[in-house]
């Protein structure tokens, strides 16, 4: 049996502070990230599950 | 080696009728999951597994589950004022594997992009702001390029958790699209 799927990511300390800061002041995504995200949507739409 | 042409790839739900015997990736745990646990986990409504195929050959797979990111209470002297929710909704890419013979031909990228596109579409139907995953150490850079952030506390683990905040990307995309339409 494989290791169980771990659910529920818990953030504490600096990781939690960084996460919350990212909610308050999200960093502007890079041009590359935007392009990748748009490509991801396109790939999903062009490959429906059968 | 050349990447597989995207238009020749297919995605199918994992079914009992799929022959998984020849699938082999470099990670034993990911092989075990697909061959021993994935169907049962699917029947139990814990995870859903998708296969990437080229003709009848399984090139890779991924499994998705719903997840949450929980922010543990922060001490007052941490300098962080109140925050709206203790937990945030996410979809987890619980497993992602590529057949060893076809590594380096764009299948991992295809699966990550496909899963991201799927989560984005789901976020139009149900609230979901984050994508989470547990990365192999050697794949950290691959996910970081996409915008995933590793949790520093667990960075030394075998499979350190990572998350991607879709909100700024989706928000920017909507702004760009509305500017284009205007």
Confidence (pLDDT) at A4: 87
pLDDT in tens, B45-91: 999 999 999 999 999 999 999 999 999 866 655 555 666 788 999 99
- Reported confidence tier of residue A48, pLDDT bands at 50, 70, 90: very high
Cα–Cα distance measured from residue B129 to residue B141, given in angstroms and rounded to the nearest whole number: 22
pLDDT in tens, B14-46: 999 999 999 999 999 999 999 999 999 999 999
Kindly report the average pLDDT of chain B as a whole number. 92
Is residue B1, in this structure, part of any structural domain at all?
Answer: no
Cα–Cα distance measured from residue B94 to residue B119, given in angstroms and rounded to the nearest whole number: 13
Search chain A and give the residue with CA nearest B82.
A20
Cα–Cα distance measured from residue B135 to residue B157, given in angstroms and rounded to the nearest whole number: 10
Is residue B40, in this structure, part of any structural domain at all?
Answer: yes
What is the mean predicted confidence (pLDDT) over B155-174?
Answer: 93
Is residue B148, in this structure, part of any structural domain at all?
Answer: yes
Is residue B155, in this structure, part of any structural domain at all?
Answer: yes
Q: Is B132 close to A41, i.e. CB distance below 8 A?
A: no
Q: Is A22 on the interface with B (CB under 8 A)?
A: yes
Confidence (pLDDT) at B82: 60
Domain count for chain B: 1
Question: What residues make up the domain containing B157?
Answer: 6-181
- Mind telling me how many Å the CA of A20 is from chain B's nearest CA? 8
Is residue B17, in this structure, part of any structural domain at all?
Answer: yes
Residue reference for tokens 């594997």: B97
Burial B120-153 (b: 16+ CB within 10 A, else e): beebeeeebbbbbbbbbeebeeebeebbbbbbeb
Is residue B156, in this structure, part of any structural domain at all?
Answer: yes
pLDDT at residue A29 is higher than 80: yes
Is residue B152, in this structure, part of any structural domain at all?
Answer: yes
Q: Which of B110, B169, B99 is nearest to B142 (CA)?
A: B110
- CATH number of the domain to which B99 belongs: 3.40.630.30
């Amino acid at each position: 049996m494989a290791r169980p799927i771990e659910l529920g990511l818990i953030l504490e300390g600096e990781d939690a502070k960084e996460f919350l800061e990212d909610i308050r002041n999200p960093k502007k995504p890079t041009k590359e990230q935007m392009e990748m995200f748009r490509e991801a949507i396109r790939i999903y739409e062009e490959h429906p599950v059968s | 080696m050349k990447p597989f042409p995207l238009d020749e790839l297919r995605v199918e739900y994992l079914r009992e009728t799929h022959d998984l015997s020849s699938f082999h990736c470099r990670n034993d745990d990911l092989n075990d999951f697909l061959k021993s646990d994935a169907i049962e986990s699917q029947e139990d409504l814990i995870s859903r597994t998708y296969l990437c195929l080229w003709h009848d050959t399984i090139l890779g797979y991924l499994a998705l589950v719903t997840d949450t990111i929980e922010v543990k209470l922060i001490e007052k002297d941490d300098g962080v004022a109140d925050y709206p929710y203790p937990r945030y909704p996410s979809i987890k890419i619980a497993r992602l594997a590529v057949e060893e013979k076809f590594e380096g031909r764009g299948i991992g990228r295809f699966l990550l992009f496909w899963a991201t596109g799927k989560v984005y579409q789901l976020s139009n139907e149900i609230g979901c702001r984050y994508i989470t995953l547990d990365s192999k150490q050697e794949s950290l850079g691959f996910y970081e390029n996409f915008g995933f952030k590793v949790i520093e506390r667990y960075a030394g683990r075998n499979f350190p958790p990572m998350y991607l905040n879709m909100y700024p990307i989706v928000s920017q995309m909507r702004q760009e699209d509305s500017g284009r339409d205007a």
